[in-house]
Structure 1
């Protein structure tokens, strides 16, 4: 079984059983418009799929995992310990593009990652390797950008960080072999999904209190209008005979219930939080148009296809 390679906020590994309990027993092609860390996709390993994300660096990473796994592993093996001295043969060995001192090898690679889109010829393999290296050595596995789009997470403290991830890359490459990887808007599924296909939506959202209203809801990079568009897309897929499963903040309970979806509340623990004491259970929903009579049997892991 493949596993996620990257640590990614909002990952759904802890909700897999609850999600699968609402999947149809059989379906055609699988579509995941907000793939993120890919917890569901890699666990399912569907034989025919589309995956999409709005983050171009994440999409490039999955393309390299799919198409060049051994070259990616070799590039990762060339990286040094995050606390080592900067490499004098690489850019930003002494200071960042903004003139700040570079304290260690980690901060040199962070500076390189942040300047790659603006300096020299773009190397998609190096971009992918830097993303995984930083993800596996930064503080708490966060992916966070500042207002200028720069990755700004400090170095983490790990005894033996594994940034190469050989086995996970190879298994993930196999899982992605027949998948279409996209970098665009989630509404592509209106054209890509056919009747009998399954679409799983896991949009960006911030857990909200039980008393918060939809009109108060917003998440960085994915606002109220995006949530409304997503609700409309889910409704259009439902009318077209496409199976839909969606996870979201608890504040979206009422809108999906009013649209005719079956909605249940589930508890989810924050997997990534800067405050370890604040990784508590949050309010989350799972909505679906799959009736109980069409759902998978309990404990079923392999899905038959049409």
Structure 2
């Protein structure tokens, strides 16, 4: 099926920093993700894709990270309260000690609801490089980023809130989420990328990581969703076994360029080739 050329437009940035976020890939994804009644994202992450969709009426957005989903849900229900808490953290805790105190209270489960949501936003914008990483005990363990004046993303939060009324957010893995996909749905999957040969990759975004068996299960679940009538799009690395896996299951493969944003130095962030697989 022919696809259109990337469309020139201004895209909305998400309010979270997100390693592996798809903001830089939006022109390519915009032309490859088909229109449909509902967009389903089993790995919603920072949310660049759904925030910029004008092809879908509603959204089912899932992630295994419960703190992320709590933030999204709280902003949907009580945005003013979350924003008020977050502004307070930004104003009072912009130093190493304040950051570590907040992180400890967060890990000790001393916060709930809107306050915990605001703390997660604060930690994301103040931690090293915006990484979201947990240890095996489920504790957020990213160090302080030492930024002089972290940006408070008020406009980006407002843009999210405007779209959130058409969204359902669930804390779930991809297997459960994809069972909900069927006729009229479009599925976009952005799983942790399969490491290229000779590299370590970054798969400990949630405790337990993301294994090769998970990659294969994801494809099986996507094929089943397609058989129920859903259109499916997956982005991933160009690891040879990923390409082979997608080809074996009948995906059309598109090679696209993406700017990596996980290096701590902007000058060393590089352009890499990604795969966008369409079924």
Gaps of 5+ in 2: 1-10
* Matched residue, 1:90: none
* Matched residue, 1:92: none
Q: How many Å apart are 1:77 and its aligned residue?
A: 2.2
* Matched residue, 2:71: 61
Counterpart mapping for 1:120-131 below 5 A: 122-131=111-120
Correspondence 1:194 to 2:201: no
Gaps of 5+ in 1: 85-102, 290-306
Correspondence 1:267 to 2:257: yes
* Equivalent pair of 2:179/2:221 in contact (CA under 8 Å): no
Correspondence 1:40 to 2:49: yes
* Equivalent pair of 2:13/2:23 in contact (CA under 8 Å): no
Aligned residue for 2:246, secondary structure, equals helix
* Matched residue, 2:131: 142
Q: How many Å apart are 1:40 and its aligned residue?
A: 0.4
Quote the Cα distance in structure 2 between the aligned partners of 1:35 and 1:19.
14
Q: Taking structure 1 as the reference length, what is the TM-score of the superposition?
A: 0.78
Q: How many Å apart are 1:232 and its aligned residue?
A: 0.4
Quote the Cα distance in structure 2 between the aligned partners of 1:217 and 1:4.
23
Q: How many Å apart are 1:150 and its aligned residue?
A: 2.0
Q: How many Å apart are 1:166 and its aligned residue?
A: 2.2
Compare CA radii of gyration and give the structure with the larger one.
1
2:151 is matched with which residue: 156, 162, 167? 162
Q: Cα deviations across residues 214-242 of structure 1 (Å, max 9, x unaligned)?
A: xx999441111111111101111222221
Aligned residue for 2:139, secondary structure, equals coil
Counterpart mapping for 1:235-274 below 5 A: 235-251=223-239, 252-274=242-264
* Larger RCO (CA under 8 A, 6+ residues apart): 1
Quote the Cα distance in structure 2 between the aligned partners of 1:40 and 1:53.
14
Quote the Cα distance in structure 2 between the aligned partners of 1:147 and 1:288.
34
Q: Taking structure 2 as the reference length, what is the TM-score of the superposition?
A: 0.85
* Equivalent pair of 1:207/1:282 in contact (CA under 8 Å): no
**Cα RMSD, aligned residues only:** 2.3
**How many positions carry a matched residue from both structures?**
261
